[in-house]
Chain A
Amino acid sequence: MGTALQLLFTGLGIGSIYALVALGFVLIYRATNVVNFAQGDFAMLGAFSMTVLTINLGMHYWLSILITITAMAIFGALFNLGVYYPLRNRSFLPVIISTIGASILLENGVLAAYGPQPQSLPSVFESQGFSIGTVFFDSQYVVILVVTVIMVAFQYLLFERTLLGKKMQATSQDKEMASMLGIPVALMIMITFIYSSILGGLAGVLVAPILFVSVGMGSSIALKAFAASIIGGFGDVTGAVVGGLALGVVETFGAAYISVPYKDAFGFLVLLVFLLFRPQGIFGERIAEKA
């Protein structure tokens, strides 16, 4: 029982990271109808930025976070301009391929600049964590869970309670109509990319102390985040969060009870099962093309 609870806690922590990256996916997908295959590399960049700032430059932790978030915001804007904007009027295939190209560029760019040696980023917290009964609550996992809850709440308020959020929703539902109503569609998409980039970067910052900081960390997170968003129901915000958490738990239990080397395969197996029997995911609806 204690072990199971422990695994559940760990799974939810990892799942939160998937959920944060998946949220970024979903937001960009809703705004542009395109899946950003470089979303995971946003997390990788966030983690590397933290590593460089705190370890190599010896900066203060919170200042580093501030700089990282600012840098991610600028990066999101540039990403929009360089990778998405020139292709915005084309079908989804060129855009997908372009984001894959961006992912290769980012990973190998960082690799060339920083080398293949994985880095470890120590947690900011003095205490390792605390125990309740037999379950040990690692402080980094607790932070991840708390930040995820805050971000999900923030996003809910942003979209449901502010004019900016409503404008972003309008843009994602019908660009043409939104632009006729005077909503600056290009700007809304820009803001979406900036926000998604910050979300991704934040996920990287949070996960860095748990995983090693390496160039490949982003793509493996992204694949699972993508799987999570399909399991949850593609394009659905709640689905992304629930799918992410579920995937984290499945994977952790799978690794503990079935096989460690195949840990990464469990998530994909769950995904394949969903694609076969419930392709619209937990919360999604079937979408048909309009004639």
Chain B
Amino acid sequence: MSDRASRTASNALSAGKVFGAGLYIAVAAATIGFVTLTPFPAYTLNLLMQASTYAIAVLGLTIVLGYSGQINLAQAAFFGIGAYGVALGTTTFGLPFWVALLTGVAAASMAGAVLGLMSLRLGGHYLAMVTISFQTILSLVLTNWIDFTKGPDGISGIGRPTQFAKSGPYLGLCIAGLYLVGYLVWHLRRTRLGRAMQATRDNELAAGVVGVNTYLTKVTAFTLSALLGGLGGGLFAGGFSYISPDQFSFSESVVFLTMALLGGSRFPFGTVFGTGLLIMLPEWLRFLKTIYLAVYGGAVILIMVFMPDGIMGFAVVIWRKIRPIKPLATGDIPPLTLGHPGGREEQPATLKISGLVKHFGGVKAVDEVDMQVERNSVHALIGPNGSGKTSLLNVLSGIYRPTAGRIDFDGENITHLKPYQRAGLGLGRTFQNIRLFTDMNVLDNVKIGAERPGNAIGGGAALERHALAALEFVGLANRAFEAVGSMSYGHQRLVEIARALAGNPKLLLLDEPGAGLNHAEKDGLVLLLERLKGHGLTIVIVDHDMHLVERVADRITVLNFGRHIADGAPADVLRNPDVVAAYLGKVDANAAPRA
């Protein structure tokens, strides 16, 4: 994180990065060499073996909990599957260590994938419950299926690879694995998948609307987490050469979770640090004897209350106080490319809504609405509060399933597509109540928009340039590395618009972009909208500010009580008596004039 402030747009492969990578490899090589050659006493060796293999499993929780915001209370079960894979593989089945390890890891990943596919549509509490259930069932099977697992007695005589048969080299192997996994998990956060995970964590609904397949992302995260659990467990089994079912119980899962939380589940280094701390802690706290687990429990509550992002999160906050992020010297940023020269020009309407209905129980939020949005036009959707504008937008972007009717977008029927699929076709959107990915920085927010499926802009430096261009378009490129949560309301709106623009939408849905802005910000917004209009972008805008609507709209559709009541050029529509009545109430023609 700390290197980001000084990083500029153009030097993606800076000297700092090369130095960092070199330092990491050097430290890794030194540690591996040291542990391999040092004749540790057996006790220290066991602690180190446990710490390194546990840390690999806990890094799985960094992915699923820290990056993706999904709970996993069965990490000990995946750890156990990996361990039993190696244990049974090298004893009962006489397999070479590597084959057994691969089997164990594959089994753990499969279990994770199946569990994830089953429960991640629901997420939240269900996931907590399903993982606990799985953990419980696995513990029962390990204990009771004596013919296969050897039951409560456990398995001894577990093999190691011949080259690493001695404890020193084997520990070196585990530490090398930890360094490798640690790097990969750290790197994951900077990839498209990693950004998709964080977006899903921060705002699942918005993530879908900007083009992230949130379900697949969560399942992937869960599977990767199980994979690392299995890998850690497999190495653990080889390290101790004896395992038994009680090492993989629910309370161990909680220990794994605590390790991730204590260190800071979003930070791989924090996770490893937390693991080491909690493995050493019981040794240091021996005087507590029987109550140390109770202290554990109490510590979990205290961490949640006082240090929700763990020790690392706390440290980062302090560090940011000492060295705040300064505005960035952006240098040359290429202009943002908007518009679709290769679009289907034979289709005059970008969006065609026919007979669209959305009921919530007895409430007809959208009632038989027909509407067409012409290519390269700005189409305003207005109506009194509760007239169904936002509901209509939610049906258009796929958040709500329509009760009846049909939506065609660029000549394609999208009525039954999921939000991320619509984003993939080029449907962009902003929200009335801003929905940004609050724990990510401004640039990453916009990158996710740029990474929508179907938006071919290339990865790496090209992606960064493109995202910066979108930010420059709204005038915020110099704030790219700031935390989005710390920006003003008006700027957050602009970041949300930039996020949508970065995806180069064929149609942009703006849900009350002027809400909550002051006069100066609103003037800026009108200028921005006029610039977008100048680029020929097709826009549907919902807003209450008639001056704003009149200045930018080519055409207006008016809704009232979910029904379409008027449609046409702004001047005509705003004088339409039905529209006036809808907004101001009907004036009785025979009413006495007011005094």
Contact = CB atoms under 8 A, between A and B. Distances in A.
Chain A's interface size range is 35 or more
B298 interface: yes
A94 B126 contact: no
Contacts of A185: none
B294 A112 contact: yes
A101 B133 contact: no
Contacts of A90: 308
A272 B118 contact: yes
Nearest to B122: A279
A108 B303 CA distance: 18
A183 interface: no
> Which secondary structure dominates chain A's binding surface?
helix
A104 B71 contact: no
Nearest to B397: A291
Interface in A79-134: 82-83, 86-87, 90, 92-98, 100-109, 111-112
Interface stretch (A14-22, A65-73, A202-210, A222-230): A222-230
Contacts of B298: 101, 105
Given A90-B308, A104-B294, A275 B122 contact: yes
Contacts of A153: none
A261 interface: yes
A265 interface: yes
Contacts of A104: 251, 254, 293-294, 296-297, 300
Interface residues of B, number: 49
A87 B303 CA distance: 11
A136 interface: no
A195 interface: no
A105 B305 contact: no
A112 B125 contact: no
Interface string A259-281: 00110110011011001100100
A234 interface: yes
A35 B136 contact: no
A193 interface: no
A64 to B, nearest CB: 25
B140 A108 contact: no
A81 to B, nearest CB: 11
B294 A93 contact: no
A141 interface: no
A87 B304 CA distance: 8
Interface in B186-213: 204-205
A87 B296 CA distance: 19
A275 B305 contact: no
Contact of A262 (B65, B134, B144): B144
A277 B118 CA distance: 10
A96 B132 CA distance: 13
B260 to A, nearest CB: 10
A93 B69 contact: yes
B73, B133, B140, B300 interface centre (most CB from chain A within 10 Å): B133
Contacts of A264: 136, 140
B119 A223 contact: no
A90 B304 CA distance: 10
A287 to B, nearest CB: 10
Given A223-B132, A261-B144, A291-B394, A92 B125 contact: yes
Given A96-B71, A275-B126, A109 B294 contact: yes
B133 A83 contact: no
B124 interface: yes
6 contacts: A93-B69, A94-B304, A230-B126, A269-B137, A289-B204, A291-B390
Smallest CB-CB A-B distances: 4 pairs: A101-B300, A105-B297, A104-B297, A108-B294
Given A109-B297, A111-B293, 11 more contacts: A92-B125, A93-B65, A97-B257, A101-B299, A112-B291, A219-B250, A223-B129, A226-B129, A272-B133, A275-B126, A279-B126
